[in-house]
């Protein structure tokens, strides 16, 4: 690979005495790799999956390394650290539920072309398939950023105690602790910029500390008796631990299973007993079960409002205030504080 985004890269490239020979050799090698892949597809009759071969590398030449990210939150963090030194592609569109996401054929092509891949890990992308493992087997970095954290800082899944809760982006300090691992993954794809990535990772951590202070001030304005956050699924465990909220989801850690009637009834009882004023739907999850809880509370003569929808597992649309990870956390904080009687 050659990268040419800045003068340092151009200088490095011009120092290579056999650059022209290398370029021709690479072109020939890619041509053979392409032909070999086409023959492999024809022979297998399989046209849905791009094929890589031991002999070939499907990656075309690029001006900058191609860095592929799964979720918008991962992409936002990686972009903050990569700056102009990588082409960052996010596979999941806003509103996509990562628990249920499966890569399209185009997604698989991008993954196989990537010079580095960043994903959340901890089984958040539980249906992602084997494309990531194939990149990893080729020796290119695949960084599961939440899995780089100290396990002692992770929460476990209440329903599956052998699994960790993957929603670590909800705690800004914890999320920012993954920044050095992102910088180091990027440095493998663009070693000339390792220093810039390290500097940017430190800046991400500083901004996360400021964000953390602001969230803390807003959430502590909620009356203590009302610090119970009920959402569509159990995505806010890290947020609750950090800011002192009891957190309950109508669905569990993953959205793959439906909540039981007993789970809904127990939430209705708790909300009615504690007189919690508001519960929250999420942008990536149907509000059907949240509305069932509200109806159950009404039957018990406790009126619960539906608060502003929260961004739990995906960023907001491009033009919205929740289009970045920081914007997402600020939006959620405002909605939660206002809904539970504090100052957002």
Stretch that binds Zn ion, among 31-39, 206-214, 232-240, 260-268 (CB under 5 A): 232-240
**316: which 2 tokens?**
């907001």
Q: How far is the CB of 249 from Zn ion (least distance, A)?
A: 9
313 binds Zn ion (CB under 5 A): yes
Spatial separation of the C-alpha atoms in residues 126 and 152, rounded to whole Å: 22
Instruction: Please give the Cα distance from 12 to 32 (Å, whole number).
Output: 28
* Residue from the set 81, 131, 181, 235 that interacts with Zn ion by CB under 5 A: 235
Cβ–Cβ < 8 Å for 155, 113: no
Cβ-based nearer residue to Zn ion, 50 or 237: 237
**In this structure, which long-range contacts are made by residues 215-218, counting pairs with CB atoms below 8 Å and at least 24 apart in sequence?**
215/172, 215/242, 215/243, 215/329, 215/330, 215/333, 216/243, 218/333, 218/334, 218/337, 218/342, 218/343, 218/344
Residue 165 binds Zn ion (CB under 5 A): no
The answer to whether residue 74 forms part of the interface with Zn ion (CB under 5 A) is no
Smallest distance from Zn ion to CB 79, Å: 22
Closest to Zn ion by CB, 178 or 255:
255
Candidate ranges 12-20, 39-47, 131-139, 235-243; the one touching Zn ion (CB under 5 A): 235-243
Residue 285 in the binding site for Zn ion (CB under 5 A):
no
Using the contact rule CB under 5 A, the part of the chain among 34-42, 199-207, 305-313, 314-322 near Zn ion is 305-313
Q: Facing residues of 305 across strands?
A: 278
Distance CA 32, CA 25 (A): 11
Size of the site for Zn ion (CB under 5 A): 2
Q: What is the rounded CA–CA span in Å between residue 31 and residue 53? A: 13
Contact between 190 and Zn ion (CB under 5 A)? no
Read off φ and ψ for residue 230, nearest 5 degrees.
-110, 125
Which of 77, 37, 124, 44 lies closest to 312, judged by CA? 124
Stretch that binds Zn ion, among 41-49, 101-109, 196-204, 309-317 (CB under 5 A): 309-317
Range in contact with Zn ion (rule: CB under 5 A) among 9-17, 18-26, 134-142, 307-315: 307-315
Residue 131 binding Zn ion, by CB under 5 A: no
| Nearest distance in Å: CB 167, Zn ion | 6
Task: Name the residue among 209, 208, 184 with its Cα closest to residue 198.
Answer: 184
Q: Are 77 and 143 in contact (CB under 8 A)?
A: no
| Total Cβ atoms within 10 A of residue 145 | 26
Q: Report the nearest approach of Zn ion to the CB of residue 312 (Å).
A: 6
Residue 244 to residue 220: CA distance in whole angstroms: 8
Q: Which is nearer to Zn ion, 196 or 313 (CB)?
A: 313
Nearer to Zn ion, 313 or 326 (CB): 313
Smallest distance from Zn ion to CB 32, Å: 44
Q: Is 157 in the site for Zn ion (CB under 5 A)?
A: no
Q: Minimal distance in Å, beta carbon 112 to Zn ion?
A: 26
Q: Whose CA is closest to 136, among 147, 272, 218?
A: 147
Nearer to Zn ion, 241 or 274 (CB): 241
Q: By the criterion CB under 5 A, which residues form the site for Zn ion?
A: 235, 313
């Amino acid at each position: 690979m050659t990268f040419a985004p800045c003068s340092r890269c151009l200088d490095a490239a011009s120092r290579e005495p056999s650059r022209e020979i290398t370029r021709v050799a690479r072109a020939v090698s890619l041509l053979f790799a392409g032909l070999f892949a086409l023959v492999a597809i024809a022979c297998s009759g399989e046209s849905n999956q791009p094929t890589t071969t031991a002999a070939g590398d499907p990656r075309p030449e690029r001006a900058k390394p191609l860095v592929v990210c799964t979720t918008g939150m991962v992409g936002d963090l990686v972009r903050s650290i990569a700056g102009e030194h990588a082409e960052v592609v996010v596979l999941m569109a806003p509103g996509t539920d990562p628990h249920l996401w499966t890569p399209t054929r185009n997604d698989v092509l991008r993954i196989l072309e990537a010079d580095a891949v960043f994903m959340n890990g901890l089984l958040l992308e539980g249906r992602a398939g084997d494309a990531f493992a194939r990149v990893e087997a080729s020796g290119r970095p695949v960084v599961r950023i939440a899995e780089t954290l100290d396990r002692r800082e992770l929460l476990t899944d209440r329903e599956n105690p052998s699994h960790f809760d993957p929603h670590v982006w909800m705690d800004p300090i914890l999320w920012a602790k993954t920044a050095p691992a992102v910088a180091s993954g990027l440095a493998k794809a663009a070693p000339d910029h390792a220093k810039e990535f390290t500097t940017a990772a430190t800046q991400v951590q500083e901004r996360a500390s400021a964000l953390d202070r602001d969230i803390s001030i807003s959430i502590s304005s909620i009356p203590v008796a009302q610090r119970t956050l009920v959402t569509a699924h159990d995505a806010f465990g890290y947020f609750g631990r950090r800011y002192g909220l009891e957190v309950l989801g109508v669905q569990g850690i993953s959205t793959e299973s439906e909540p039981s009637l007993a789970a809904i009834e127990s939430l209705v009882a708790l909300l009615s007993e504690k007189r919690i004023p508001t519960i929250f739907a999420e942008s990536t999850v149907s509000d059907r079960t949240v509305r069932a809880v509200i109806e159950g509370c009404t039957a018990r003569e406790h009126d619960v409002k539906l608060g502003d929808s929260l961004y739990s597992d995906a960023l907001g649309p491009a033009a919205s205030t929740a289009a970045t990870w920081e914007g997402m956390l600020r939006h959620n904080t405002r909605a939660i504080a206002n809904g539970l009687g504090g100052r957002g």
